[in-house]
């Protein structure tokens, strides 16, 4: 399994020096150590951005990373605001299962959805076939039919089915 991190809330760290939460080194590795997982994985930091700042060029760079990976299963951690856009931009890469996940609260908070989401996304990645999926709020979504409900702090289908 290849894990590509791009920043977003899940990776945010508080920097006292400027009184801001900013994207920092991803907690993915620590999280997987804490969970005592026994599958093989490697982690690569592709971007460190709030997802609102991710550009089309960034998405093409990410797509290239996915296409070039020797692994067939790719987990992408990503900010939630434009996660759907990135998922759409990753469509159609032959031979790859790609799952995007993130969090509404940074992984380093005492209360966070990040750890559950990572566990959920890992299983989704292992079990689903070729394609691109969004794993959030304990559900798997098709990127073509999902939006972030900002007020509700959740992902939901565009057309409930």
Interaction site with a second copy (CB under 8 A): 9, 12, 14, 16-17, 19-21, 31-32, 34-39, 50, 52, 79-81, 104-106, 108-113, 115-124, 126-128, 135, 137-140, 150-151, 153-156
Whose Cβ is closer to a second copy: residue 110's or residue 159's? 110
Closer residue to a second copy (CB): 48 or 154: 154
Type and span of the H or E element at 88: helix 83-89
Catalytic residue among 9, 82, 86, 101: 9
CA-CA distance, 22 to 53, in Å (whole number)? 13
- The whole-angstrom separation of Cα 155 and Cα 96 is 23
Alpha carbon distance 124, 8 (integer Å): 20
Known catalytic residue at 9: yes
Confirm whether residue 80 is marked as ligand binding: yes
Sequence-distant (≥ 6) Cβ neighbours of residue 24 within 8 angstroms: 11, 12, 13, 15, 48
The reply, when asked if residue 51 is annotated as ligand binding, is yes
* Distance of closest approach, residue 50 Cβ to a second copy, in angstroms: 5
Annotated binding residues, as ranges?
51, 80-81
């Amino acid at each position: 399994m290849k894990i590509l991190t791009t920043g977003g809330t899940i990776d945010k760290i508080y920097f006292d020096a400027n009184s801001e939460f900013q994207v920092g080194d991803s907690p993915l590795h620590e999280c997987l150590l804490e969970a005592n997982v026994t599958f093989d994985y490697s982690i690569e930091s592709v971007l460190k951005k709030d997802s609102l700042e991710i550009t089309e060029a960034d998405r093409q760079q990410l797509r290239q990373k996915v296409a070039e990976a020797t692994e067939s299963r790719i987990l992408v951690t990503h900010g939630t605001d434009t996660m759907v856009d990135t998922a759409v931009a990753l469509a159609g890469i032959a031979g790859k299962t790609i799952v995007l996940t993130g969090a509404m609260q940074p992984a380093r908070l005492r209360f966070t959805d990040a750890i559950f989401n990572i566990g959920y996304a890992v299983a989704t990645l292992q079990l689903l076939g070729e394609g691109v999926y969004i794993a959030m709020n304990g559900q798997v979504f098709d990127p073509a039919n999902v939006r972030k409900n900002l007020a509700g702090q959740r992902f939901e289908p565009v057309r409930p089915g």
